[in-house]
Every structure is written in C-alpha cells, then in structure tokens.
Amino acid sequence: MHQKRLPLLTTSISMALLSTLALPLSGYAADAAAEAEEMVPSVPDPARFGPVRQQLHDWEFVIGAGAMYKPEYEGSDQMEISPVPYISATFFDRVTVDPGGVEIKTYEQGAFKFDINIGYDSGRDEDDSDDLRGMGDVDGGVSVGGKATLNYGIADFFVSVDKTIGGSDALLGKVGVELTQPLSEKFILGASASATFADKNYMESYFGVDSGQSARSGYREYKAGAGVKSVDVGVSATYLFNDNWVLRGEQKLGILVGDAADSPIVKEKLQSTTMVVLGYRF
C-alpha cells in the first residue's frame, strides 16, 4: 500500500515551565514603590505546573527532515527525489504519531504484542509519471489495521493486515521479520524481510487496465487477481551523534511478483527505495 510510512525515531522530551518576575525598588520613595508594585503581574506558582511537567516527561519527541530516492510509482523504471519532513511523538509509551499515521499499543504479554494502526493510503496520481497518462487517478483513503508481533532475541516476527476505507478500498496483508542489533551505544543496525499479499481491489486499482484506461493510455487490457504482490528486504543504520542529534539511513529492495509483475504498466520489477533522515530530539 502507498502508505507514507517512514521508520519510527523516538526520543525523550523534558520541559520545565517557570516564570519569574522581579523589579528592583531600591532608591525609590515608599509611594513610588507602591505604585510600581501595582504594575507588576503576580508570579505564577511553579507547583501548579507539576502535572503538565510530568505529562511531558511521558512524551518522546523528534523532529527532522531528509530525502527519499524512489520510483515514480510502483512498477516504474524512473526514479525521483522527494523531500521527507519528519515529526514523531510517542505519548505515555503507548501511542506513536508519525508521518505514517498512528500506532496504538493495545496488548502486550511476554514476547507477544498487538498494535492497532491508523494511516493514510496516498493513492496514485496520473501526473506522477508519463507512463501513467490515461490511467486516471487512484484516490487516497484512510487505512485501519492491526499488527501482531512475536519477539525472539533480536528478531520480531510479525503479521499485519490493513484495510483502506475509500480510495482503492483495498485489503493488504504482510508477514515478515525485523531485526535490530546495537553495535555500540551510538550505532544501531537493522534488517527486514517480508512478503505482501493484496486483494483484488488493490491489484485492479494499481496494476489492472480496464477498457477505458486501455483506450486512453494505449496499454492492453489486463485483469490482476489477488495474491502475493511483492517480496521485500531492507537494511537500516542509525547513528546517535549526541543526546540530541540522530541520523538514520534506510535501503529497501522490493520485487514485484505474480499478477503485479505481469502488469503492462510495470516497467521494472525490482523496486529500490533509499531514504536518509536527520532528526533532533528535545
């Protein structure tokens, strides 16, 4: 699915809210001092900010920016560079909000956990590439799903399902494994491998060619059925410069398979995505 999900970078944020105001009165007459005192606003009691301060301590927050080098659309052989603004916040160690959407930790027992995901399928625009002229747009929609994960050492084995509401009205499933291995206090390596399954709605929306699209675009008519859409692998590296600055790089390779690979709009089955993000934590 065309979800703009980017990797999670979580950090801790602490704020102290304190306001003080002092006005020196030495050298003034008593009546002038009284007049000046009336003009000074009252000093807030720092104790009343305690609950706010405690809540902020329960946040993890990072802001950053970077760039992504990726195909113009899924199946394209033309690449483009896109800016990547990044803001991520984790509230009370349970809710994470980032450019990919919202992740809610709903259940955790031992090595098993289950999360609910709410995101956005950005769809596809005909103007994304010259190779899509005549194909029309695929509207975006809200995606809702869940992810079950089983941890074993440095590996997280997962199964996820996401349903798009609106747009392609598609259902996507994914199975795979993610590995994370710190090499030092500042350097962390990651790797992943997965297979993505798509229903007929997704395959027809992104890889099918109906009679109208065929007449406008020149592609032959093509019906794409449900099944395995792609197999993906990826590696990542995260470097912590200090307590505030972090640099993350990712490289992913996806291979379109089955009916997706046979679509006439697919110019390249091997899809590469490279991303670099520099973040600052508060």
pLDDT tens by residue, 171-219: 999 999 999 999 999 999 999 999 999 999 999 999 999 999 999 999 9
Query: What is the pLDDT, as a whole number, of residue 184?
Result: 92
pLDDT tens by residue, 141-170: 999 999 999 999 999 999 999 999 999 999
- CA of 28: how far to CAs of 21, 37, 38, 41, 257, in Å? 18, 12, 15, 19, 85
Query: What is the pLDDT, as a whole number, of residue 20?
Result: 38
Query: What is the pLDDT, as a whole number, of residue 243?
Result: 87
Q: Identify the band that residue 53 occupies on the pLDDT scale cut at 50, 70 and 90.
A: very low
Helix (H) or strand (E) run with residue 229 in it: strand 227-240
pLDDT tens by residue, 59-71: 678 999 999 999 9
**What's the rounded Cα separation, in Å, for the pair 133 and 72?**
13
Helix (H) or strand (E) run with residue 30 in it: helix 30-39
The DSSP call for residue 124 is: B
CATH number at residue 127: 2.40.160.40
**What is residue 93's three-state secondary structure?**
coil
Query: What is the pLDDT, as a whole number, of residue 166?
Result: 93
Query: Considering its fold, how many domains does the chain have in total?
Result: 1
- Residue 160 belongs to a domain: yes
Region 125-149 average pLDDT: 97
Give yes or no for residue 15 having a pLDDT over 50.
Answer: no
- Residue 176 belongs to a domain: yes
Query: What is the pLDDT, as a whole number, of residue 281?
Result: 87
Identify which of 276, 258, 232 has the alpha carbon closest to the alpha carbon of residue 1: 232
Helix (H) or strand (E) run with residue 143 in it: strand 141-152
Decide if 5 contacts 100 (C-beta within 8 A): yes
Write the single-letter amino acid at 276. V
User: What is the helix, strand, coil percentage profile of the chain, to 5?
Assistant: 15, 50, 35
pLDDT tens by residue, 23-44: 343 444 445 444 444 444 444 4
Give yes or no for residue 16 having a pLDDT over 90.
Answer: no
Query: What is the pLDDT, as a whole number, of residue 58?
Result: 55
Q: What does pLDDT average to over the chain?
A: 84
Decide if 9 contacts 99 (C-beta within 8 A): no
Give yes or no for residue 244 having a pLDDT over 70.
Answer: yes
Query: What is the pLDDT, as a whole number, of residue 36?
Result: 42
Identify which of 279, 260, 278 has the alpha carbon closest to the alpha carbon of residue 270: 260
Q: Which tokens go with 212? A: 């109208």
- Residue 23 belongs to a domain: no
Region 257-278 average pLDDT: 98
Query: What is the pLDDT, as a whole number, of residue 221?
Result: 98
**For the CA atoms of the chain, what is the radius of gyration?**
26
- Residue 249 belongs to a domain: yes
Residue numbers of the domain that contains 135: 30-281
Report the phi/psi class of residue 129: left, alpha or beta, with left for phi > 0 and alpha for psi in -120 to 50.
beta
Query: What is the pLDDT, as a whole number, of residue 99?
Result: 85
- Residue 144 belongs to a domain: yes
- Residue 17 belongs to a domain: no
- Residue 18 belongs to a domain: no
- Residue 177 belongs to a domain: yes
